[in-house]
Amino acid sequence: MNMNKKKAWIYLLPAVLFLALFLVYPLIDVFVYSVEEGYNFASQTYFGTGLYNFSYVLHDPFFLQAVKNTFILVIITVPLSTGLALLISAGLSSVRPLRDLFQTVYFLPYVTNTLAVGLVFMILFQKTEYTDGLVNLMLSWFGAGPVDFIDGPYWAKMFVLCFYTIWIVMPFKILVLTSALASVNQDYYRAARVDGTPRFRVFTKITLPMISPMIFYLVITGFIGAFKAYSDAVALFGTDLNAAGMNTIVGYVYDMLYGDSGGYPSYASAAAVILFAIVLTITCINLLVSRKKIEY
């Protein structure tokens, strides 16, 4: 038996090694970094421990801008994308012909390279000296003036970022909700039909409660994902997000770590820990709310 025990650990060894080295140790270390003041990357020395890094980050206007951007992005995209996904999945499950085709099409953004397709969005929304771009052309059909969405006013840029984020996250949500809808017991619908219940009532009284666990799952993962937004912003506005005023919290972490403004792992760690605290708080609130709301 002892022989067997050893064997199990040998099978586990590679996974344990990788996880310990690149997941557990870094997790502990990031908290250590975040309290080491004046850490020097080259000599790997620091002069003291304390909360100065946090205070520095919280007073950095770039960080505050990043927090603001991230919160706006989260507040706009999570409800919108979840609601839209619910609408689309409900539509999808009510039709039979072409359903497979639609499902395949809707899933496409999931398998595309965020950076590459972001460039297409940039081209669509961009206003240059040569051309106002396609979106502005469409706006002009409705008599709206040309807006520079990539290099212009703040809310125009935020709109593109939200639009692109929603475009990217929809496939996952539609997929999860369609399979949730498919697993609702058909007997409830048959009973409702016998009673002649109106469609909308069936949706709010049967469908929504039945799939509410999945909706909450999507809201929770949606919040987590949106708080970590970064590459979509890079795809649209380039790597210098601070200059564009469109940085996100994760972007701030990476900028502190590396690049022209980088070399400060302590500040990066402090920012990452703050992000983690925010995400954890929001997730806990979400879980508490869902405990109360889910009926079965």
Partner 1 sequence: MVSQAEYKKTEKAAARRNKVCRILTYAGLAIWAVIVLFPFYWMLLTSVKSYGAYNAEHIPAFFTMAPTLQNYTDAFTQVPLVDYLLNTLIFSVITTVLMVAVSVLAAYAFARLEFRGKNLVFTLFLSMMMIPSELVVITNFVTVTNLDLRNTFTGLVLPSVTSVFYIYLLKENFEQVPDELYRAAKVDGTSDLKYLWKVMVPICRPTIITVTILKIIECWNSYVWPRLVTDDPAYYLVSNGIQEIRENGFGRENVPAMMAAVVVISVPLIILFLVFRRKIMEGVSRGGMKG
Of residues 102 through 131, those in contact with partner 1 by CB under 8 A are 102-117, 119-121, 123-124, 128, 130-131
* Joined tokens for residue 159: 């709109």
Q: Are 225 and 170 contacting, i.e. CB atoms less than 8 angstroms apart?
A: no
Q: Is 183 in the site for partner 1 (CB under 8 A)?
A: no
Q: Is 151 in the site for partner 1 (CB under 8 A)?
A: no
Q: Are 271 and 153 contacting, i.e. CB atoms less than 8 angstroms apart?
A: no
Q: Is 14 in the site for partner 1 (CB under 8 A)?
A: yes
Q: Which of 63, 230, 241, 286 contacts partner 1 by CB under 8 A?
A: 230
Distance CA 250, CA 73 (A): 13
User: Shortest Cβ distance from residue 88 to partner 1 (Å)?
Assistant: 6
Residue with tokens 């109360």: 292
| CA geometry: angle 269, 271, 275, nearest 5 deg | 115
**Where does this chain touch partner 1 (CB under 8 A) — which range of 5-13, 46-54, 69-77, 201-209?**
5-13
Contacts of 17 (CB under 8 A, 6+ apart): none
User: Shortest Cβ distance from residue 206 to partner 1 (Å)?
Assistant: 17
* CB nearer partner 1, residue 55 or residue 128: 128
Residue with tokens 């960080």: 63
Size of the site for partner 1 (CB under 8 A): 91
User: Shortest Cβ distance from residue 257 to partner 1 (Å)?
Assistant: 6
Q: Is 209 in the site for partner 1 (CB under 8 A)?
A: no
Contacts of 79 (CB under 8 A, 6+ apart): none
Site for partner 1, residues 242 to 281, rule: CB under 8 A: 250, 253-254, 257-258, 265, 268-269, 272-273, 275-276, 279
Pairing state between β 36-37 and 48-49: antiparallel
Residue with tokens 């409900």: 90
Site for partner 1, residues 63 to 102, rule: CB under 8 A: 84, 87-88, 91-92, 94-95, 98, 102
Site for partner 1, residues 33 to 52, rule: CB under 8 A: 33, 41
How many angstroms separate the first and last alpha carbons of the chain? 44
User: Shortest Cβ distance from residue 112 to partner 1 (Å)?
Assistant: 6
User: Shortest Cβ distance from residue 104 to partner 1 (Å)?
Assistant: 6
* Joined tokens for residue 167: 């475009």
User: Shortest Cβ distance from residue 107 to partner 1 (Å)?
Assistant: 6
Q: Phi-psi region for residue 228, left (φ > 0), alpha (ψ -120 to 50) or beta?
A: alpha
Gyration radius from the chain CA atoms: 24
Distance CA 222, CA 224 (A): 5
Q: Is 11 in the site for partner 1 (CB under 8 A)?
A: yes
* CB nearer partner 1, residue 17 or residue 295: 17
* CB nearer partner 1, residue 24 or residue 285: 24
Distance CA 107, CA 81 (A): 14
Site for partner 1, residues 15 to 34, rule: CB under 8 A: 15-16, 18-19, 21-27, 29-30, 33
* CB nearer partner 1, residue 234 or residue 246: 234
Q: Which of 160, 234, 241, 246 contacts partner 1 by CB under 8 A?
A: 234
